[in-house]
Structure 1
Amino acid sequence: MLKFLKERTAPHLLESLPRLMYRLPKKHLSYEDVVSDHYKVRAGFGGEQHVDRLLKRMRWPEPPVVIADLQLSERFCQIDTVVLTPHFAMILEVKNYSGTLSFDEDSLHMKQRTRDGKFFGFNSPVTQAWNAREELLRLFEELEVSLPVYTSVVLPYSSTLIERAPKEIPVIYGYSLNRFLSTLPRTGRPMPPEELARAGQLLIDRHTPFPETDYPAVYKYEVKDLKKGVLCGACGSLCMRQSERTHFCVRCQLVVLDGYSRVLDDWFEFVTPEITNRQCREFLGLKDKYAARYLLQKLGFASRGASVQRVYWKE
């Protein structure tokens, strides 16, 4: 039975970008970029989950080991899925595009034509897959893992069309994955299950968490651009304070619990990892410096400095 030695988890951007969308006014120059990036992250994760389900449904002659979202930071290499079988390692670069794709092997570029006739250019996922294979081969040599490495670009859904396919690395549809894997060579001594598990663990030991996003640098905004106060998590509207712990969204008729804590989470993620009493009052909409100090202390934030120079941060 197939085993995920490292399970796939939802990318943090899937949760954080909608919060940033609510903080940024719709007229801000980067608002549409945030919306677009959230769509891409959601589509990408959905496509990867779909391929995971296909892998789990397949009949495997020998149980493989699967590693999802492998990040090799020393080489700045991110791999969607690595399948380790007794005979080979398979890299799957999952790309959930819509419309029609055309691969240009001379310029190593990919062009997408959407269903509404718009054209977009991308770095070719074939190049990404090629780089991933080269890095995994070098790492296997370093770790003394004797497995050939294959790679492919996987399109999760057959609604995506290919106008011009690359020759060097196969681009396959998710539903063809079982058949494609069955055609790969199975020669030489198969790796025993315990060695296969050990090889998988060695790769996981090289995994490092994805670097945190520098939102102000990526989306080019300043703190003055962001909406202040407690915002509704459902619609982004400014909420009315009901009590110390609750706020109310008039538009959605929803009660928001621990709204101030959520606002401070937005500050630490979208502005800076530290905050002063004055910044807290301005961002939360508090008038009293003593109320701000009480809140920051109650939430258990660490602090340093005295009086107006004191700063707080989340440990």
Structure 2
Amino acid sequence: MERTKPIKMLQNEVLLRRLVMTHPKRPVIEADLSKLKAGFKGEQTSDYYVSLLPQNIYHLLPGLRLKDGDFYFQMDSVIITSKLIFVLEVKNIAGTIYFDLNNDQMIRTLDEVEEGFQNPYTQVQLQKKHLKNWLHHHKFPDIPIETLVVISHPSTILKNTDHKLQNLTYASNLPFEIESTYQKYYNKILTKKDYLKLKNKLKRSNEPLFLDILKTYQINKADILTGVHCPECNSIPMLRIARH
């Protein structure tokens, strides 16, 4: 299962091509697209290092969005093995990162500016809880789930003076971290039949998020440029309607 661009990322790319350069919502959409691109690049980096693992043991399912009861949950990466499942939360953030676990927050410092982010440890633990519920609902064996927070930006500096950081690794260390954890488990929980069944069920159950992108950014349909892109400059000629 190959990782594809998030639908919102594709929608933003198309939307920007259909908005005039002076539209007041362009800066917000461009900023969101930049974050989406950074996240996607980080996930691709993570995928590369996971691909170095033996494919007959570790099966990667990227970007799964599943339903647990009335709620949807999305995981950056899921790796299935016969012994356990790995859930990865990937962060592609430059600068210096500090995990304030007491206040359940991740703080990034870049160019002397501090910015708060949701704690990825909390995110991945919630995903684990949802996945356990999902597996139970679909009557799969009770298989262990390990979580990892993955830092994909190679120059990111990690700082934490209050707690010893666990289940945290740089993307380049993923193959070693995953294999080391895998070796700690001795029993195979999934039979070959269960393994294939789970892999296929997860793929079929994936429900990518599709937003009403105009409603999301409160843009009127009348603001969208129509017509065909110029093959040379990729612009859309603005048609002028003659008035009589």
How large is the Cα RMSD of the aligned pairs? 2.7
Q: Which residue of 2 aligns with 1:221?
A: 219
Q: State whether residues 7 and 208 of structure 2, in contact with CA within 8 Å, keep that contact through their aligned partners in structure 1.
A: no
Residue aligned with 1:63, SS: coil
2:193 aligns with 194
After TM superposition, the structure 1 = structure 2 runs for residues 123-202 of structure 1, keeping only pairs within 5 Å, are 123-142=118-137, 143-164=139-160, 170-184=167-181, 185-202=184-201
> Do 2:18 and 2:236's aligned partners in 1 also have CA atoms closer than 8 Å?
no
Contact 1:88 1:150 in 2 (8 A): yes
Equivalent residue of 2:174, what SS? Answer: helix
Match of 1:251 in 2: none
Aligned to 1:208: 207
Contact 1:65/1:196 (<8 A) preserved? no
- 1:109–1:123 contact (8 Å) kept in structure 2: yes
Preserved CA contact (<8 Å) 2:67 2:134: no
Q: In structure 2, what is the Cα distance between the partners aligned to 1:85 and 1:117?
A: 43
Helix, strand or coil at the partner of 1:72: strand
In the alignment, structure 1 residue 110 sits paired with structure 2 residue 106: yes
Which residue in 1 is equivalent to 2:97?
101
User: What TM-score do you get using the length of structure 2 for normalisation?
Assistant: 0.83
Structure 1 unpaired stretches of 5+: 1-5, 241-283, 288-315
Deviation at 1:174, TM superposition (A): 0.8
Residue 116 of structure 2 corresponds to 121
How many Å apart are 1:77 and its aligned residue?
0.2
Q: Which of the residues 3, 18, 24 maps onto 1:8?
A: 3
1:55-113 Cα shifts (integer Å, max 9, x gaps) = 111246x6222211111134310011111112110001112111122222122122222
Listed as ranges, the gaps of 5+ residues in structure 2 are: none
Q: What does residue 53 of structure 1 align with?
A: 48
* Contact 1:63/1:85 (8 A) holds in 2: yes
In terms of mean alpha carbon deviation, does 26-35 or 127-136 score higher? 26-35
User: Which residue matches 2:87?
Assistant: 91
CA contact (8 A) 1:229 1:285 kept: no
The aligned amino acid for 1:159 is S
| Mapping for residues 230-241 of structure 1, pairs under 5 Å | 230-232=228-230, 237-239=235-237
Aligned residue identity for 1:66:
L
2:93–2:151 Cα contact (<8 Å) kept: yes
C-alpha change, 1:156 and 1:92, in structure 2 (3 Å) is: same
Identity %: 26
Distance 1:26 1:192, change over 3 A: same
Q: How far did residue 30 of structure 1 move?
A: 2.2
Q: What TM-score results when the alignment is normalised by the length of structure 1?
A: 0.66
Aligned-pair distance for 1:42?
Answer: 1.4
Distance 1:239 1:127, change over 3 A: same
Deviation string 1:169-210 (CA, Å, 9 cap, x unpaired) is 522101111221122221224533332111222323332232
> Conserved in 1, the CA contact under 8 Å of 2:87 and 2:128?
yes
Instruction: Give the 3-state SS of the residue equivalent to 1:150 in structure 2.
Output: strand
Tell me the SS of whatever aligns to 1:20: helix
Q: Give the alignment of 1:56-95 within 5 angstroms.
A: 56-59=51-54, 63-74=57-68, 75-95=71-91
Deviation at 1:224, TM superposition (A): 4.4
